[in-house]
Amino acid sequence: MDTQFAETLWLTLKLAASTTVILIVIGLPFAYWLTYSRIKFKPLIEALVSMPMVLPPSVIGYYMLVIYSPRNWFGNWMDQVFDVRLAFSFEGILVASVIFSLPFMVQPLHNGLRALPESLREASYTLGKSKTVTFFKVLLPNIKPSVITAVALTFAHSIGEFGIVLMVGGNMPGETRVASIAIYDEVQSLNFEAANQYALILFLTSLALLTTIYSINKKYGAWKIM
């Protein structure tokens, strides 16, 4: 295994793992709020969360580049205050990956919480438990299949991202060149052997993750993934 091949695989794993960790931290409280809040504009928020599932990656990638640009207030602020330029950097594709994979984390968690009987929360509150304790000690243990599904789907989706990574990060070895970009690059160079190696690893990884999801669903009965 040559250095560039290993470096590309490591960067792919790093991006997928970082995206998944960030989204589980964000997704759990967000899914809870989305499930139990009674705000008027919840359908609009749910639609916005689901947008990455229907929008072309190039659309989101374009807007991310606009936001990252030094001509934009956010990009200029990041540049001036933190000396950070998000466009064509690992940090930039990480932010884009988090946004693009958000529904794959939130939707399974949201569906899992909605499937729980309201009596679980009410019984916990009756016993004097706080919302935080109720969430972590009562609700979360009862949606383990949803949590595992959300984590597996997010990771699998992240390792296969192509369009948004190419738009925001380009093809910079060691910085933004993940496996999906490398496959495209190797095919363009007619290096089919290297492309096949990358593709086979992504295929087997995704197959293993999806098999895990369906095995969990079978064990715990019918369960909505998305």
Q: What is the CATH number of the domain that holds 7?
A: 1.10.3720.10
Give the 3-state secondary structure of residue 128: coil
Residue 194 lies in a domain: yes
Overall number of domains in the chain:
1
Q: What single DSSP character describes residue 138?
A: I
Residue 203 domain flag = yes
Binned average pLDDT, 10 residues per bin, the chain of 226 residues: 86 96 96 91 91 90 91 87 87 94 95 90 88 90 90 92 91 92 92 93 91 78 43
How many residues appear in the chain? 226
Tokens at residue 202, please? 């992504």
Per-residue pLDDT tens digits for 8-62: 999 999 999 999 999 999 999 999 999 999 888 889 999 999 999 999 998 999 9
- Report how far residue 220's alpha carbon sits from residue 214's, in angstroms, rounded to the nearest whole number: 10
Residue 161 domain-assigned (yes or no): yes
pTM comes to 0.89
Q: What is the pLDDT of residue 220?
A: 65
Residue holding tokens 């995206």? 19
Q: Is residue 226 part of a domain?
A: no
Residue 116 within any structural domain of the chain: yes
225 assigned to some structural domain:
no
Domain with 184, as residue range(s), is 3-220
CA 100, chain centre distance (Å) = 6
